[in-house]
Amino acid sequence: MSLRICILETDILRPELVDEYQGYGQMFQRLFSQQPIAAEFTVYNVMQGEYPSDDLVFDAYLVTGSKADSFGTDPWIETLRAYLLTRYERGDKLLGVCFGHQLLALLLGGKSERATQGWGVGTHNYKLAAKAPWMSPVREELTLLISHQDQVTALPENATVIASSDFCPFAAYHINDQVLCFQGHPEFIHDYSRALLDIRQQVLGEQIYQKGVASLEHQHHGTTVAEWMMRFVAHKPETV
């Protein structure tokens, strides 16, 4: 039986990227099709006010990345916050990536803000700080494609750090068996990261841009993270 995943899409891609990449919902569907756990996905663009009807039941809700700030006050962000808080209080499983990772941390008692470290781009390496039954295949380190200038700077008090680096200390976390979030983008591919770098070249400055481009020679573990996410959703904690 397939897992049913609701993808809450929090962005609309730039016009020059839409034809090739469609949107983050499509990118996640392509990514998850490469991992062994069967799942079905329905995408709702919450920027445009799209949400599932109350009678639909999902095994998890995934919040995508966005150009917007997780601490922003746009009406659609406020609506999404209220929706996610309701889902959390009902005990639903929640997944977050980049913007979603930051928004859920903020919503559940942590802090997200513009990072003093500046932009993170290209591929980035993290040390794994925790192990869990759903973290299979096992890795000693994690590499993901990133593109962010905001970070989680304080975790909710019941959160456990999974991955960290000097640049991004709270790069991934989970809250018990209910919330799992990553700052990096498992759904990105190298060509998309390069396109973003080229678009933002002037904003980033030449040094960060060139370093980001050079880092794209390295592989990343997006498919591993996709499998972890689906195992997390499928995982039933043992009851005593």
58 located within any domain: yes
Start-to-end CA distance of the chain, whole Å, equals 26
Residues 160 and 179: their CA atoms lie apart, in Å, by 10
| Total residues belonging to the chain | 240
pLDDT of residue 17 exceeding 90: no
Q: Are 12 and 167 in contact (CB under 8 A)?
A: no
111 located within any domain: yes
Domain that holds residue 226: 3-234
The pLDDT confidence band at residue 238, using thresholds 50, 70 and 90, is low
The string of DSSP codes covering 60-120 is EEEE---SS-TT---HHHHHHHHHHHHHHHTT-EEEEETHHHHHHHHHTT-EEEE-TT--E
pLDDT (tens digit, 9 = 90+) per residue, 36-83? 999 999 999 999 999 999 999 999 999 999 999 999 999 999 999 999
Residues forming the active site: 98, 185, 187
The pLDDT confidence band at residue 151, using thresholds 50, 70 and 90, is very high
239 located within any domain: no
pLDDT of residue 94 exceeding 90: yes
pLDDT (tens digit, 9 = 90+) per residue, 109-130? 999 999 898 888 889 999 999 8
34 located within any domain: yes
Residues 96 and 104: their CA atoms lie apart, in Å, by 7
Q: How many domains does the chain have?
A: 1
226 located within any domain: yes
204 located within any domain: yes
CATH code where residue 62 lies: 3.40.50.880
240 located within any domain: no
**Would the pTM of this model clear 0.85, i.e. be above it?**
yes
